[in-house]
Chain A
Amino acid sequence: MQALAADGYRVVGPVERDGVIAYADLGSGDDLPTSVTVEQSPGRWRLHHDDSGHRFGWTPGADSWKQFVYPAHQEVLRIRRTDGSFVVTSPPPAAQPLAFIGARDCEVRAMAVLDRVVLDPLHPDPRYAQRRDGVFVVAVTCGVPAATCWCTSMGGGPQPAAGFDVRLTEVHDAVGHRLVAEAGSDRGAELLLRLEMGAATTDDLAAANGVARAAADGMPRRLDGAALPALLQGTDHHPNWEAVAERCLSCGNCTMVCPTCFCSTFSDHTGLTDDGSAPIETVREQDWASCFQLDHSTLGGHAVRATTKARYRQWLTHKLQTWTAQFGTTGCVGCGRCTTWCPAGIDIVHEAAVLAGLPTAAQPPNSQKGSSA
């Protein structure tokens, strides 16, 4: 982290705060969570401490890297009246490139999914492009999946396979407790060489792969994600939509915590002047939006998706079905955030399985209160 900061990066990563894992600016390795484990199940998160000394023994919380490259609130432009004309200015670009410490495989893949949407060649978002450009990614292999995890069903795994500069795996075995680092890019290799860490042995690498394998074997939820787009076709009138709508709060939490949800809304703001003359400046702002908001589907003064049922159907089918046709990737990376952070505990895996006519996921082996089939 110090080397990255010295190279000019703004280093951000996990911290323990208010009983959760949040992503924030990091000063040094001391800021990382230590001896933290988490318990996740539909609608429930609890953070615990043990005496392991582990730095990455937890699964991610509601925060995701999206908040740094596609912030919840941002200024888009500023229009200022001048004598007989006007001047448009854009906010200045960020002073520093970002370095992400501790991105999991689902999160690395989520960034790629978001890139495909927000950097679409026809309508690239220049502010996103600027923030995303040159992000240094230190990825981490997941050792202990949460009960809401299902990355292996959505094309990923506990071990990041691409999209990182350095990959860390926390190993704690008979040899000792250590981080095994592997380079994923030239600049990652250059950084590791500069740090003059001891070279990993073949045993170290085997142990790191063992951590990933054990995590994959322990993945609590399984569903054939690749088959979902076809299986969800024709389910528009499935009775399960009504059943979910009875529990769904339409609060929008699932979309807010989703690392690939990209909907946003724009609004213009004018100020006031002390002499009562017309305001001279207008600011256009962009905020995260949600398909659970009535505004989101309001056309001609009326919400097209007026019911919770219609909104939940939009959300789930976009994530798991129509995104593929629209963008060529799945919209879901299997991180489980929407399920953990749903106050009503609605489990996307369970609902998708019911709709697709697949056997519902087996009871998660390490779940405290997994959903019943």
Chain B
Amino acid sequence: MSAPTVAVWKFASCDGCQLTIIDCEDELLAIAAALDLRLFLEAGPSELLDHYDISLVEGSITTAHDAERIRDVRERSGLLVTIGACATAGGVQALRNSADVAGYTAAVYARPDWIETLATSTPIADHVQVDLELRGCPISKEVLLSTITALVAGRRPAPTGHSVCVECKAAGNTCVLVAHGTACLGPVTHAGCAALCPSFQRGCFGCFGPSESADVDALHTAWRAAGIADADLLRALRTFNVAAPEFAGGAQRVQLRAKEHA
């Protein structure tokens, strides 16, 4: 069994998911042995090959150049795995999708005419075929490791799509929504973080994006019953996974219901 060749690619992102790979400190030697890491600029390797068995792709598509580059990455890749909220949903930078990008560019850059950017931030799957998505902002080290070990052993990686609530109850956490009235996106959020925030009695803020059957309308009703303002739900939905269809559509309907309510 020879180690699969691997590339780690970066698009529009903060590098946090790439850092999660490097953050596997105790397992780094084993990862380096199990994977033939050829391209991973953040960590050093910079060998451009015609083909990699596995590509890990971080970041979203925000420029015409990147929209071309991801096609090239796809052609060079056997299995293409996206890592993190940017690559799977467009990331926090997808807030631009409903804003005035030209205005932002003018406000930030001394020479906005030098900036070439798209009006939208879109996930990798909007551009090319994606074989597996790892969620999170950033991704979870445990999910990453279980994916790597599955791929190396020839098992089917199986990141679960159920809600954070399942992990929360398995951990024996107190439900902060039911018992404290704390705003928590857990019931509509994809598992994988081992219920990190609720484990510290904080509400989930949805960084893993929508769960497999996320129902924002039902959560809206539940948050209202708990006395939480509609504005708080809109704010919660419009962060790292703002452009995920379930969150984006849900937020629109929350706004409509808020208007009817007013």
* Residues of chain A with a CB closer than 8 A to B211's CB: 250-251
Chain B residue nearest to A306 (CB atoms) is B213
**Is B218 part of the contact surface with A, judged by Cβ < 8 Å?**
yes
Return the contact of B218 from the options A18, A249, A268, A271 (Cβ within 8 A).
A249
Contact with B along A25-52 (1 / 0, CB 8 A): 0000000000000000001111100000
Return the contact of A272 from the options B31, B163, B171, B180 (Cβ within 8 A).
B31
* Residues of chain A with a CB closer than 8 A to B255's CB: none
Give the number of chain A interface residues (Cβ < 8 Å).
52
Instruction: Please judge, given known A-B contacts A67-B172, A247-B218, whether A256 and B166 are in contact too, CB under 8 Å.
Output: yes
* Residues of chain B with a CB closer than 8 A to A344's CB: 187, 218-219, 221-222, 225
* Minimum CB–CB distance for A61 against chain B, Å: 8
* Residues of chain A with a CB closer than 8 A to B31's CB: 272
- For the complex, what is the distance from the CA of A340 to the CA of B174, rounded to whole Å? 13
Instruction: Please judge, given known A-B contacts A288-B170, A290-B162, A343-B177, whether A272 and B149 are in contact too, CB under 8 Å.
Output: yes
- For the complex, what is the distance from the CA of A272 to the CA of B225, rounded to whole Å? 48
* Residues of chain B with a CB closer than 8 A to A247's CB: 218, 221
**Is B47 part of the contact surface with A, judged by Cβ < 8 Å?**
no
The answer to whether B33 touches A295 (Cβ under 8 A) is no
With most chain B CB atoms within 10 A of its CB, the pick from A44, A61, A268, A293 is A293
**Is A257 part of the contact surface with B, judged by Cβ < 8 Å?**
yes
* Minimum CB–CB distance for A305 against chain B, Å: 10
The answer to whether A272 touches B174 (Cβ under 8 A) is no
Instruction: Please judge, given known A-B contacts A279-B153, A340-B178, whether A253 and B158 are in contact too, CB under 8 Å.
Output: no
Return the contact of A43 from the options B33, B201, B225 (Cβ within 8 A).
B225
- For the complex, what is the distance from the CA of A136 to the CA of B34, rounded to whole Å? 49
The answer to whether B33 touches A253 (Cβ under 8 A) is no
Chain B residue nearest to A273 (CB atoms) is B30
The answer to whether A292 touches B169 (Cβ under 8 A) is no
* Residues of chain B with a CB closer than 8 A to A248's CB: 215, 218
Return the contact of A45 from the options B169, B178, B212 (Cβ within 8 A).
B178
The answer to whether B222 touches A290 (Cβ under 8 A) is no
* Minimum CB–CB distance for B95 against chain A, Å: 26
Chain B residue nearest to A265 (CB atoms) is B160
The answer to whether A273 touches B33 (Cβ under 8 A) is yes
The answer to whether A268 touches B34 (Cβ under 8 A) is no
Which residues of A221-277 have CB atoms within 8 Å of chain B's CB atoms? 246-253, 256-257, 267-276
The answer to whether A252 touches B162 (Cβ under 8 A) is yes
* Residues of chain A with a CB closer than 8 A to B158's CB: 267
The answer to whether A345 touches B29 (Cβ under 8 A) is no
Return the contact of A17 from the options B174, B175, B215 (Cβ within 8 A).
B174
Contact with A along B208-237 (1 / 0, CB 8 A): 000111010111011001100000000000
Instruction: Please judge, given known A-B contacts A293-B166, A295-B162, whether A343 and B222 are in contact too, CB under 8 Å.
Output: yes
The answer to whether B30 touches A249 (Cβ under 8 A) is no
Chain A residue nearest to B201 (CB atoms) is A18
**Is B179 part of the contact surface with A, judged by Cβ < 8 Å?**
yes
**Is A341 part of the contact surface with B, judged by Cβ < 8 Å?**
yes
Return the contact of A73 from the options B3, B33, B34, B170 (Cβ within 8 A).
B170
Return the contact of A20 from the options B1, B179, B221, B225 (Cβ within 8 A).
B179
The answer to whether B170 touches A256 (Cβ under 8 A) is yes
**Is A175 part of the contact surface with B, judged by Cβ < 8 Å?**
no
* Residues of chain A with a CB closer than 8 A to B170's CB: 72-73, 256, 287-288
Which residues of B1-59 have CB atoms within 8 Å of chain A's CB atoms? 1, 3, 27, 29-31, 33-34
* Residues of chain B with a CB closer than 8 A to A270's CB: 149-150, 152-153, 155
- For the complex, what is the distance from the CA of A341 to the CA of B166, rounded to whole Å? 12
Return the contact of A294 from the options B186, B213, B226 (Cβ within 8 A).
B213
Known: A247-B218, A251-B165, A294-B212. 9 other contacts (CB 8 A): A22-B172, A45-B175, A251-B186, A256-B170, A272-B31, A272-B145, A278-B1, A288-B169, A294-B213
Q: Which residues of B pack against A, CB within 8 Å?
A: 1, 3, 27, 29-31, 33-34, 145-146, 148-150, 152-153, 155, 158, 160-163, 165-166, 169-175, 177-180, 184, 186-188, 201, 211-213, 215, 217-219, 221-222, 225-226
Q: Which residues of A pack against B, CB within 8 Å?
A: 17-20, 22, 43-47, 61-63, 67, 72-73, 246-253, 256-257, 267-276, 278-279, 287-288, 290, 292-295, 308, 340-345
